Amino acid sequence: MIIPGILFLLGLLCLIKGGDWFVDGASALARQFHLPELLIGATVVSVGTTLPEVMVSTISAVSGHGEIAYGNAIGSVICNTALIAAITVAVRPGKVDPKPLRVPVAFFFAAAAIYCVAAYGMGRFTRPMGLLMLGMFVAYMAANVWQMKNAPAEPEHEEEPMGIGKIVLLLVVGAALIALGANLLVDNGTLIAQAMGVPESVIALTFVALGTSLPELVTAITSLMKGHSDLSLGNVVGANVFNLVLVSGMSVTLAPFEIPQSATLFGINSSLVLELPVMLLVMALLTIPALVRGKLSRVQGMALLCIYAAFCAVQFTM
């Protein structure tokens, strides 16, 4: 286990440094074009931090492991919301501008409706559904471009603006280091979990989902340390949309698959009574108060963390 341990540490270092550069580049981009950080987080940052989910799910689907692609998408949404966003909210609750949140939240629940139709109505994901989700991804990006054009200008910052070339370099190199670090951690951690006899679907919903969500976690922690909590929240919500419409859409289009039934709860497929309901619950708990009241509370963050702990505990006891 010496080599996996070394690779794990190397991956951790890549994540830390990549997250540092990526957040610096994203916040500089928001200042450069006078855009809300929450909006930049929901688009540019989300694209970069969702790359590991895209790679893992697409490769899994093509190689005949649809349960990994399915579990990774749902597990990543749960992890992003009930762990990563929860940490952000628990550490630094406060006011939120609901306007930049409306588009990603609307697209998320529209995509979640497709998931529910596939799971509860059909029992499988078809290629037309995959194409529909990819179409929603294009529409989501178009809606955000329109929103950016109409976004109110942010107040000028005193710091000297960063050149666009350096911003792009920080974003690209930061995202690459984050993806590399997450890949090293996921590969070695999955091997250990398999050696311990943990089922593939459980690995996808917990360990792989957490591993591929490490970019969001690193971005959230780095954003908090640098005082950019809006960037972190926007990243989480945007990444959740991408997990359903881009990650799942790509996987289903390339290789349609049936809803996994490797685990049951009360004699029913756990996906129908646990994973999908928890995904909808945590996203509603995070976003509805932000949209209605324009603020997030520490109690909200703690409740989400408790839900995530309970979800993981149930997964490993089934």
Indicate the domain borders of the chain. 2-315
Q: Is there a contact between 223 and 217 (Cβ–Cβ < 8 Å)?
A: no
Name residue 75's amino acid. Answer: G
Rounded to an integer, the average pLDDT of 70-79 is: 82
Residue 156 pLDDT level (bands cut at 50, 70, 90)? very low
Tell me the average pLDDT of the chain. 77
**Secondary-structure percent of the chain, ordered helix, strand, coil, rounded to 5:** 80, 5, 15
List, in sequence order, every residue forming a beta bridge with 265; answer none if it has no partner. Answer: 268
Residue partners of 111: CB distance under 8 A and separation at least 6: 133, 136, 241, 244, 245, 248
What is the tally of helices (H) and strands (E) in the chain? 17, 6
Q: Regarding the domain with residue range 2-315, which homologous superfamily does it belong to in the CATH classification?
A: NCX, central ion-binding region (1.20.1420.30)
Please report the pLDDT score of residue 263 as a whole number. Answer: 65
Higher pLDDT, 159 or 196: 196
Average pLDDT over every residue of 54-79: 74
Above 50 in pLDDT, residue 79? yes
**103-124 confidence digits (pLDDT tens):** 889 999 999 999 899 889 888 8
- CA count, 13 A, side-chain hemisphere, 260: 26
Distance CA(78)–CA(117), nearest Å, equals 19
Does position 228 have pLDDT exceeding 70, yes or no? no
DSSP-based three-state secondary structure for 295: strand
pLDDT digits (tens, 9 = 90+) for 273-290: 888 999 999 999 999 988
Please tell me the predicted confidence (pLDDT) of residue 302: 94
**pLDDT score of 148:** 66
Indicate the pairing of strand 264-265 with strand 94-95.
Answer: unpaired
Q: 203 φ, ψ to 5°?
A: -60, -40
What is the rounded distance in angstroms from the CA atom of residue 265 to the CA atom of residue 315? 10
Question: pLDDT band at residue 139, thresholds of 50, 70 and 90?
Answer: very high
Residue predicted with more confidence, 212 or 254: 254
* Local structure of residue 63 (DSSP, 8 states): T
pLDDT band with cut points at 50, 70 and 90 for residue 201 = low
Averaged pLDDT for residues 57-68? 70
SS3 state at 189: helix
pLDDT of 149 over the 60 cut = yes
Do 148 and 35 form a contact (C-beta atoms < 8 A)? yes
The pLDDT value recorded for residue 163 is 80
Over 90: is that where the pLDDT of 57 sits? no
Per-residue exposure over 115-125, b if at least 16 CB sit within 10 Å of its own CB, e if not = beebbeeeeeb
- CA angle (261, 263, 268) in 5-degree steps: 75
Three-state secondary structure call for residue 269: strand
Residue 161 has pLDDT above 80, yes or no: no
Q: Write down the pTM of the prediction.
A: 0.73
Q: Which helix (H) or strand (E) element contains residue 94? A: strand 94-95
Which of these, 176, 192, 154, lies nearest to 3 by C-alpha position? 192
255 versus 40: the higher-pLDDT residue is 255
d(CA 146, CA 148): 5
Quote the CA–CA distance of 279 and 107 in Å, as a whole number.
Answer: 15
**What share of the chain has pLDDT > 90, as a percent?**
16
